[in-house]
Chains A and B, each alone.
Chain A
Amino acid sequence: MMDMMLMLSLALLSLGILGSVYRLIKGPSMNDRIIALDTIGVILLSIVAVLSMLLRTFAYLDIILLIGILTFIGTTALARYIERGDVIERTND
């Protein structure tokens, strides 16, 4: 029964990624696209977790940490770039 529930959650999660891809393509401003990318990263992380439960292996658990860190760094860098015009601040402010 649990395998069926896990398969159903995989289908629901891919539906969520599909909705975020719609906002990623259409979004009127750049921040909409950043939000959509963040959501895609988070949902991808949960897909990896469900998949590692479904395959009964814990070899994929590193990927969860990696995707989490990459999503956070990407969102932060893009938001800073939009707000200030550069990612790393220069000293001659």
Chain B
Amino acid sequence: MINEIGELLIGLLVLFGAVLSVVSAFGLIRLPDVYLRSHAATKSATLGVLLILTGAFLYFMIYVEHTSAKLILGIIFVFITSPVAGHLNGRAAYRSGIPMWDKSRFDELRPVIQKEIEEHGLNRQSNTKTRGKQ
């Protein structure tokens, strides 16, 4: 009884995680902008990999009877580091002057960066200015 329920639960978890990964790749192909693509790739791929690793953890706990600390460590590690990597990448994209989508309306970071340039001078931002628009 518990075996059949566990089998269905683990299969559904893994399948849903795989579907989320495909949705993330679809967004990576279709969306028009670096920032929107980063939105698609970071969030849904992280959730998909978390579901799959949870399914693997339940599988090894129920069927092989081996409670794996490595999998828990992997779940926590991916859950912490993947949004951090997405944030660093978006920040690098904005500061190196990659243009936003032409239909995007608000840019609340631009005045902040202008103020920072006025206060600290151009020497930290020289990389931004010389590289220009790609």
Which residues does A use to contact B, with CB under 8 Å?
A: 1-2, 5-6, 8-10, 12-13, 15-20, 22-23, 28-29, 31-32, 34-36, 38-39, 42-43, 45-46, 49-50, 52-53, 56, 58, 61-62, 64-65, 68-69, 71-72, 75-76, 79-80, 82-85
For residue B63, which residues in chain A have a CB less than 8 angstroms away from its CB? 56
Having A36-B28, A45-B74, one finds 17 other A-B pairs with CB under 8 Å, namely A1-B7, A5-B15, A9-B15, A32-B37, A35-B41, A38-B41, A38-B85, A38-B86, A39-B45, A45-B53, A45-B78, A46-B52, A52-B56, A53-B59, A61-B74, A64-B71, A72-B85
The 8 closest A-B pairs by CB, nearest first: A19-B25, A9-B18, A5-B11, A83-B92, A12-B18, A16-B25, A31-B93, A75-B85
Q: Decide: A49 near B37, CB < 8 A? Known: A31-B92, A39-B28, A83-B91.
A: no
Given contacts A31-B98, A46-B52, contact A82 B92 (CB under 8 A): yes
Question: B interface vs A, CB < 8 Å?
Answer: 7-8, 10-12, 14-15, 17-19, 21-22, 24-26, 28-29, 34, 37-38, 41-42, 45-46, 48-49, 52-53, 55-56, 59-60, 63-64, 66, 68, 70-71, 73-74, 77-78, 81-82, 84-86, 88-93, 95-96, 98, 127, 134
The docked-state distance in angstroms from the alpha carbon of A6 to that of B41 is 23
Interface of B is mostly: helix
Question: Are A58's CB and B64's CB within 8 A?
Answer: yes
Q: How far apart are the CA atoms of A38 and B70 in the complex, in Å? A: 21
Does B14 contact A50, Cβ atoms closer than 8 Å? yes
